[in-house]
Amino acid sequence: MTVTSPDAAARAAGILSRPVVINGLTVPNRIAMAPMTRMFSPGGVPGEDVVSYYSRRAAAGVGLIVTEGTYVGHESAGMSDRVPRFHGEEQLAGWAKVAEAVHAAGGTIVPQLWHIGMVREQGQAPYPEAPAVGPSGVRTDGTEGTGKAMTRADIDDVVAAFARAAADAERIGFDGVELHGAHGYLIDQFLWSGTNRRTDSYGGDPVARAKFAAEVVAAVRAAVSPEFPVVFRYSQWKQDAYDARLAETPQELEAILAPLAAAGVDAFHASTRRYWLPEFEDSDLNLAGWTKKLTGRPAITVGSVGLDGEFLEAFQGRGAGVGGLDDLLDRMERDEFDLVAVGRALLQDPDWAAKVLAGRFDELAPYDAASLRTLS
């Protein structure tokens, strides 16, 4: 990836400023804020600093904000008392203020609803006595955890927790919801054969492994208004298995995504580490491009947008230089996907979207990993 060309600077506004419709929501432009865990919400309550953090980026031109992952109301859902929760009177009141401020700044916003599954360790906050749960009691690294395989009652409880959170999101003023089905967390643990070793109707071939996710989607769809957008985020890679793949071919991917689309997904957020890489042989389409082609639903791409190093390096304390945007603009001009989610570049610079939309690429700055430690 190279520094963006002068020609791209002139093209950016026309390509990225187009509105996009997701079910009943019109997003004012094609730039989204990617969900990024920040751990700045003591007691799971997003405070005024979180309100300012999101509204500042909306005011600077981000069309759609996807919040950091926020735990649904199931005791095994999380592993930190500083990650926000999407249940509880005080927590939801904090989130209502976030949504109101983002709307006042001209943006749209959806919460990312999250259950971590077998990633949880015994004894962790916010509910230390809660066990880790997953499809088979297996972690993404293949080891046995300290948790348990979910019973049908456990499945029903978690599905209901996602549905309650979605209904609450609509009630307190959010514009839609995103379901976190990526990166080796609970929903993804069902989707991936490496962690789903069940022999009942929730395990086996790709369609069976998608059953839990489809039930979550269907329950969420039933709990909200018909026009309320439901976004589903998924990935091939996992936290402890970066080379993992849900699907080796487009046909296998379609077998997983089709039941989710049928259950009520309005848009898919296809998480990759480098958005410019093709997903399958004999095609330049990335994962989001294939997702849109196979499902007919709007698709969001993500992965090192605007930077020349991938995000995993940030957790090793490494920064990244400014990367080119020519390829991104070419793909968006072809409508390969519909929105682009930006992570670290927006963490570093709240005004990133405004600068890109105005063609002020010379003002873009390299990413400093110190941004992870602040909320500004």
Q: Are 310 and 295 in contact (CB under 8 A)?
A: no
Determine whether 48 is exposed, middle or buried from the number of CB atoms within 10 Å of its CB (0-12, 13-18, 19+): exposed
Q: Is 185 one of the catalytic residues?
A: yes
Place of tokens 């046995």: 144
Calpha distance 96→65 (Å, rounded): 14
Place of tokens 């936290």: 239
Within 13 Å of residue 164, how many CA atoms lie on the same side as its CB?
15
Determine whether 334 is exposed, middle or buried from the number of CB atoms within 10 Å of its CB (0-12, 13-18, 19+): exposed
Q: Which DSSP state fits 336?
A: S
The single residue of 54, 185, 202, 275 carrying the catalytic annotation is 185
Q: DSSP readout, 97-115?
A: HHHHHHHHTT-EEEEEEE-
The residue among 170, 151, 57 whose CA lies nearest residue 110 is: 170
Task: Identify the H or E element spanning 299.
Answer: strand 299-302
**How many of the other CB atoms lie within 10 Å of CB of 127?**
17
The residue among 86, 106, 105 whose CA lies nearest residue 96 is: 86
Calpha distance 129→147 (Å, rounded): 11
Q: Which DSSP state fits 275?
A: T
- Helix (H/G/I), strand (E/B), else coil: 161: helix
- Angle 86-91-94 from CA coordinates, rounded to 5°: 110
Number of H helices, E strands in the chain: 12, 12
Calpha distance 288→340 (Å, rounded): 10
Strands 20-22 and 25-27: antiparallel
Catalytic residues: 185
